[in-house]
Chain A
Amino acid sequence: MPSKPVGTLYRGHEGMWSWVAHRITGVGIFFFLLVHVLDTALVRVSPEAYNEVIGTYKNPIVGLMEVGLVGAILFHAFNGIRLILVDFWAKGPRNQRKLMIGVGVVWIVLFVPFVIRHLMHVFGGE
């Protein structure tokens, strides 16, 4: 008899929080994408219109929002892969904890270098 139940996906604790975070990031990315396609559509209006609007994004405040967006996408992407592994990989449900830690590790490994390089672009420099 296992001491903990296996086979259920969302059973409180980390599972619950990651589910909430997956949902919030999904909604956030969706609304970003609606606006993103609209601003990209300005390339059909004129080069000036596009450059002007993109130009207003090139400041520290939007730069930090981009950091938030990328952090959210990295989480949603790798937590999504975790969900897929739990569903399709026979050993997935038994390795939930390890998969969860894996998501955290991959997230940090990709996010930290991203933040450094992106902030270097945002705050001048190269």
Chain B
Amino acid sequence: MSEIAAPRSSTRSRSLKGGGRNRSGQTNFELYSWLFMRLSGLALVVLVLGHLFVNLMLGGGITALDFAFVAGKWANPLWQVWDLLMLWLAMLHGTNGMRTIINDYAEKDQTRFWLKSLLITASIVIVVLGTLVIFTFDPCLDPSSTLSVCK
């Protein structure tokens, strides 16, 4: 039986050891990135499917979503941490995936550079914005809020 190497598993970047750089002087960035896609993917299965189940399947589903619903959820630290993890992992995973795709299709160095700059900029903006939203959320903006913190 002939052994055919799996794609993207070049022998150059096989070793996790090697002090950041391996024998051929390259970093192991692509290996870590490959591993990260798989580990974050596993976590995202729980985080994203849980998010969809709670928001779309429980209670009134989509019809029940409004400011009060969000206030109710983020009053619970569990959902704050959940959403924060989901935001960071999904954005890192998605950005890294988009980076692979740009590398695959954009052939000119210039095009790659600009597409990646745009990608990184957009991702940083979204991650910072989403993080701020979770940490600075104020349920009492809603005068009719029934949450005890607003009384």
Interface size of A by CB at 8 A reads: 46
Q: How far does the alpha carbon of A80 sit from the alpha carbon of B44 in the complex, in Å?
A: 10
Complex contact A77–B63 (CB within 8 A)? no
Chain B, residues 66-99, CB within 8 Å of chain A (1/0): the string is 1110100000000000000001001100110110
Chain B CB within 8 A of A73 CB: yes
Chain A CB within 8 A of B149 CB: no
Residues of B in contact with A (beta carbons under 8 Å apart): 1-4, 6-7, 38, 41-42, 44-45, 48-49, 52, 56-57, 60-63, 65-68, 70, 87, 90-91, 94-95, 97-98, 101, 122, 126, 129-130, 132-133, 136-138, 141-142
Which listed residue, A6, A51, A84, touches B1 by the CB 8 Å rule?
A6
Complex contact B1–A30 (CB within 8 A)? no
Q: A44-B132, A121-B62 are in contact. List 11 more A-B contacts (CB 8 A).
A: A6-B1, A9-B6, A29-B94, A30-B94, A37-B126, A57-B62, A77-B45, A77-B49, A81-B45, A84-B42, A88-B38
Q: How far does the alpha carbon of A101 sit from the alpha carbon of B65 in the complex, in Å?
A: 35
A residues 37-76 in Cβ contact with B at 8 Å? 37-38, 40-41, 43-44, 46-47, 50-51, 54, 57-58, 63, 66, 70, 73-74
Q: How far does the alpha carbon of A70 sit from the alpha carbon of B45 in the complex, in Å?
A: 12
Q: How far does the alpha carbon of A121 sit from the alpha carbon of B59 in the complex, in Å?
A: 10
Complex contact A47–B67 (CB within 8 A)? yes
Chain B CB within 8 A of A87 CB: yes
Chain B residue nearest in CB terms to A63:
B62
CB distance from B72 to the nearest CB of A (A): 12
Complex contact A47–B101 (CB within 8 A)? no
